[in-house]
């Protein structure tokens, strides 16, 4: 389960997007666009996740 908290990204906002993988990303992206007027690209959102969730499987 992926969780993206608005608060973690500098907004004073209680919104949390939850879901599996890209679903949370889509929800979060929609929310920031609608509520905060900021549109993150999918790639930027992916970066959020990568940073937050760690094991980007290192094959070593
Ligand atoms: Zn928000």
The predicted-structure confidence for 29-45, as pLDDT tens digits, reads as follows 999 999 999 999 988 88
pLDDT of residue 11: 93
26 CA from centroid of ligand 1 (Å): 13
pLDDT of residue 35: 96
Using pLDDT thresholds of 50, 70 and 90, give the confidence band for residue 53.
Answer: low
Give the per-residue SS3 of the chain: CEEEEHHHHCCCCCCEEEECCHHHHHHHHHHHHHHHCCCCCHHHHHHHHHHHHCCCCCCC
Mean pLDDT across the chain, nearest whole number?
A: 84
47 CA from centroid of ligand 1 (Å): 18
37 CA from centroid of ligand 1 (Å): 10
């Amino acid at each position: 389960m992926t969780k993206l908290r608005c608060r973690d990204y500098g907004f004073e906002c209680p919104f949390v997007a939850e879901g599996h993988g890209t679903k949370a990303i889509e929800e979060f992206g929609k929310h920031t666009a609608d509520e905060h007027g900021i549109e993150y690209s999918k790639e930027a959102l992916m970066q959020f996740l990568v940073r937050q969730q760690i094991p980007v499987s290192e094959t070593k």
